[in-house]
Structure 1
Amino acid sequence: MKEIAIDVQGLTKSFGARTVVRNLSLKVPKGEIYGFLGPNGSGKTTTIRLLCGLLTPDAGEGTCLGYDILTEQDSIKRHVGYMTQRFSLYTDLSIRENLEFVARVYGVPDPKAAAKEAIDRLGLKGRAEQLAGELSGGWKQRLALGACILPDPQLLLLDEPTAGVDPKARREFWDEIHGLAAEGITVLVSTHYMDEAERCHELAYIAFGELLAKGTAHEVVAKSGLSTWIVSGKGLHELALALQAREGIDMVAPFGAELHVSGRDRRALDAAIATAKKANGAHRWTRGEPSLEDVFIDLMDKSKDNFA
């Protein structure tokens, strides 16, 4: 059995009359990368903060790193590294100066040596004296991650850490995250990128306060119950409009030069597709497997916005 880093039951949090997280229960094994998916404003950030004791739930209970999330929040915070969406280090200090400053704030022994180690580990050696404000998005994210791991945390919270970063920098960032997880650090990360979601050990899909799906990427897709057809050819926009009105079709989504046509009732979907084929034989239809993005879109369509 894996050691459990986070174990919570029935977490609920409201701000005023709006319930942002409703009756959420999760178990996160130690050393796993746990991904949070969901539309903007769905409660992902609030959920992450509840799980690690940065916010107090209105209802529910549980533990994080063995500490009670209701009564031992200060103990939890001492073992957490938090990387926010917005770059929050000093732009007029160099990479080295920023890391040495953070090390001193956290009381890390020998701040200069700790900063040098972080610089070497994250491939920042040639840029150590460069001002943080002059860095590109990808290098800023590396610096922010370096600051997070300086105090040797047991838990990392990454809130959309690679938004606006190029694909190469994103891949290198995730390689480092997997290296940290292999060392036993538990990582909670929110993301909108499907390729990043698939790199997480487990996922939770949260929409407007409610947990709608959880498990590995494969399990989330399998549990969705979606069946999918892929169609290619000319006039796909017009075809999509026509298909959306057919009974048995729950989702039509363009993917490059193709459409993904999905439904939760396989028989009804196949009947709708058969009718569409007869009406227009100019398109090429193949049965496909639903992707994580298909499931993501389907869950969004079924969700009710609690801020509406």
Structure 2
Amino acid sequence: MTGAKSEIAGQHPCIQVDQVYKRFGKKQVLNNISLQVPYGQILGLLGPSGSGKSTLVKMIAGIDTATQGEVYVLGQKMPKLAMMHKLGYMAQSDALYGDLTAAENIIFFSSMYGMNKSKQKQRMHEVMELVQLTEHLKKQVKQYSGGMKRRLSLAIALIHEPPILILDEPTVGIDPVLRKSIWHELNQLKAGGTTIIVTTHVMDEVEKCDYLGMIREGMLIASGSPEELKQATSSRTIEEAFLYYGGAAK
């Protein structure tokens, strides 16, 4: 994945994954993954559950390390603690404190990024408005539904306005209307220069990405823009293209 924006921002791409392998014991989870993501683009990682998408984004976020190969973010080799404030990461499982209110969760996480109280208050209002949880700010998170927890996790990932946003299955359990507004916000962030990685298996979301990496059984089986992948396989839909590449990878 290359483009003019990465050249403008610097010599290196925003995110670079070089020949990455990951094993857990004897299990090979990722097999020779290489990707480049320019600045200010949305990369969609498409694949079924267990394909290795979450493992890959954890390495990009600096939460996990590769068995072999290297990951660079903003030109820095990961993992690197100093890079954490430049990343917004939303995990597939919600890392929230159930006994605290939503507001207390936001204050806790935003304090980790060194935000002062006036900025915290401003951003709390903005992100909770986006995910439509403003009226639930003072409610304990353990009283939230699964979908509400996903929305709060997204709000927390956005709180410090990071230049890179990594979202692992961000819209699971979220209704279609709210999902549309979240994607509108992601495109607004992209227009402002934010680089975004989204893992998904929702086909209509994939069409909204600038670039796709199709992952199956720990391998990158195809990459390109949604239109390129459809044209290369004479497919009408991304789902057809994925099935084509999935069959070819066997």
Q: Above 0.5 in TM-score?
A: yes
Aligned mates of 2:22, 2:69 — CA distance in 1: 9
Identity %: 36
Q: TM-score, normalised by structure 1?
A: 0.70
Kept in 2: contact 1:103–1:115 (CA 8 A): no
How far residue 196 of structure 1 moved from its aligned partner, in angstroms, is: 0.5
Which residue of 88, 91, 94 maps to 2:95?
A: 88
How far residue 94 of structure 1 moved from its aligned partner, in angstroms, is: 2.7
The answer on 1:156 being equivalent to 2:165 is yes
- Secondary structure at the counterpart of residue 130 of structure 1: coil
Q: Deviations over 1:276-305 (max 9, x none)?
A: xxxxxxxxxxxxx5311112233334445x
How far residue 123 of structure 1 moved from its aligned partner, in angstroms, is: 4.0
Counterpart of 1:292, as a letter, is: I
Q: Which residue does 2:62 correspond to in 1?
A: 53
Q: Which residue does 2:208 correspond to in 1?
A: 199
Residues 139 and 177 (structure 1 numbering): CA distance in 2 closer, same or farther, change over 3 Å?
farther
Q: Which residue does 1:300 correspond to in 2?
A: 246
User: Aligned ranges for residues 11-160 of structure 1 at < 5 Å?
Assistant: 11-69=20-78, 73-110=80-117, 111-160=120-169
Which residue of 170, 180, 185 maps to 2:179?
A: 170
Instruction: Please provide the CA RMSD for this pair.
Output: 2.2
Counterpart of 1:29, as a letter, is: P
Q: TM-score, normalised by structure 2?
A: 0.85
Q: Which residue does 1:282 correspond to in 2?
A: none
How far residue 92 of structure 1 moved from its aligned partner, in angstroms, is: 3.4
Residues 120 and 167 (structure 1 numbering): CA distance in 2 closer, same or farther, change over 3 Å?
closer
- Secondary structure at the counterpart of residue 78 of structure 1: helix
How far residue 33 of structure 1 moved from its aligned partner, in angstroms, is: 1.0
Kept in 2: contact 1:221–1:295 (CA 8 A): yes
How far residue 104 of structure 1 moved from its aligned partner, in angstroms, is: 2.1
- Secondary structure at the counterpart of residue 170 of structure 1: helix
The answer on 1:208 being equivalent to 2:217 is yes
How far residue 176 of structure 1 moved from its aligned partner, in angstroms, is: 1.7
Q: Deviations over 1:115-148 (max 9, x none)?
A: 2343345443333323333444444333211111
The answer on 1:291 being equivalent to 2:217 is no
Counterpart of 2:93, as a letter, is: R
The answer on 1:2 being equivalent to 2:22 is no
Kept in 2: contact 1:37–1:203 (CA 8 A): yes
Structure 1: 5+ residue stretches without partners: 227-288
- Secondary structure at the counterpart of residue 48 of structure 2: coil
Q: Deviations over 1:2-58 (max 9, x none)?
A: 122112321122222222112211110111111001122111111112233332222
Aligned mates of 1:127, 1:157 — CA distance in 2: 25
How far residue 192 of structure 1 moved from its aligned partner, in angstroms, is: 0.6
Kept in 2: contact 1:221–1:291 (CA 8 A): yes
Aligned mates of 2:243, 2:56 — CA distance in 1: 21
Kept in 2: contact 1:33–1:189 (CA 8 A): yes
